[in-house]
Structure 1
Amino acid sequence: MKEVSELKRKVLDLLREDARYTPELLATMLGVTAEEVKKAIAELEEDHIIVKYATAINESKLDDEKVTSLIEVQITPERGRGFDAIAERVYLFPQVKSVYLMSGAYDLLVEVEGRNLKEVASFVSDKLSTLESVLSTKTHFILKKYKQDGVIFEDHEEDHRLMISP
């Protein structure tokens, strides 16, 4: 693993907060030159530390009827490759958004997105559970997202009532 400088760590922290920050703004915030920030970002991208710039979207505000599920998967690791081989087979499915190796009662946590419940159920029964190394699956459907990646999706109504004190 490559050592990451303090400047690069600060740039990463700020880009996690908002990927739209320009190098000039980051430079001002960090007290360095824009050229130093541009160089740091280029190196982070080259080293595959920054792999994507993403937008957090509140899907509930759209007309899309997407269904997201989290699937607990118990697997038998493959000799010589452990969990990596089966994880790779799982994450290559286009429906799969994320795959995590977990500690505890199950081995992989798989995030799957589909157009409806039937599509996700079909993926689990026809593709995921039929993989040779998969011992069991447990599917949880996400009903509502309150917060993701540090972003709160709920609209907060302020309480405009007057405070009454005795």
Structure 2
Amino acid sequence: MYSSKELELLELLEEKGYLETKMLADLLALDEETIESMLEKFKQDGILLGFRAMVNWQKINRHDVTAFIDVKVTPKRGRGFDDVAERIYRFPEVTALYLMSGAYDLQVVIRANSLQDVASFVSDKLSPLDSVLSTTTHFKLKTYKHDGILFTPQTEDKRLNITP
């Protein structure tokens, strides 16, 4: 089990991203060695997986394509969905892969240069896999919020209040 300080550290890292060890120590009222020890433990336990910047590519007109592909598969006896998931997440285009409840079993997220590249991925790599029964592809048109971060500035509502 993890202490309240360890959980507090994880929450802080999740909210703020990477911070210097000294800053973390000051915020949590701990010494730097304790923070470093906690971070190393989280890495060894597979809890702290890394740090990434959240970039709004829409602001610089980068025209890549993000696709969400719902996949219905036949699970393997004794392994469930893990074998087919492993085959799928090894493709370099795949940025995320989730086991889902509902009509489809897996959701594959890919980033590509064009719609044609997405189509090629689905037809040449994903659909030919033995376990794949069907796919449905959706395309991201615009990001409003991701991982709790707003991508569009909040605007003040300038409409007049209506009162009876």
TM-score (norm 2): 0.91
Structure 1, gaps ≥5 residues long: none
Distance in 2 separating the partners of 1:134 and 1:159: 47
Amino acid at match of 2:32: A
Q: What is the total number of aligned residue pairs between the two structures?
A: 162
TM-score (norm 1): 0.90
Q: Secondary structure at the match of 2:85?
A: helix
Partner of 2:100: 102
Distance in 2 separating the partners of 1:94 and 1:155: 33
Alignment partner for residue 4 of structure 1, among 2, 7, 17?
2
Identity of aligned residues (%): 45
Amino acid at match of 2:33: E
Q: Deviations along 1:140-163, whole A, 9 cap, x unmatched?
A: 0000011111111102345689x9
Distance in 2 separating the partners of 1:139 and 1:155: 29
2:59 paired with 1:23:
no
Amino acid at match of 1:116: S
2:110 paired with 1:112:
yes
How far is 1:115 from its partner?
A: 0.3
Write out aligned runs for 1:2-151 (5 A).
Answer: 3-151=1-149
Structure 2, gaps ≥5 residues long: none
| Shift in alpha-carbon separation, 1:128–1:24, aligned structure 2, 3 A | same
How far is 1:52 from its partner?
A: 1.4
Q: Secondary structure at the match of 2:97?
A: strand
How far is 1:89 from its partner?
A: 0.2
Q: Secondary structure at the match of 2:68?
A: strand
Q: Secondary structure at the match of 1:100?
A: strand
Distance in 2 separating the partners of 1:140 and 1:157: 28
Q: Deviations along 1:34-93, whole A, 9 cap, x unmatched?
A: 221111011111222111111111110123211001111000001121100000000000
Aligned partners of 1:8 and 1:44 also within 8 Å:
no
Amino acid at match of 1:83: F
How far is 1:6 from its partner?
A: 2.2
Amino acid at match of 1:120: V
User: How big is the alpha-carbon RMSD for the aligned residues of Structure 1 and Structure 2?
Assistant: 1.9
Amino acid at match of 1:6: S
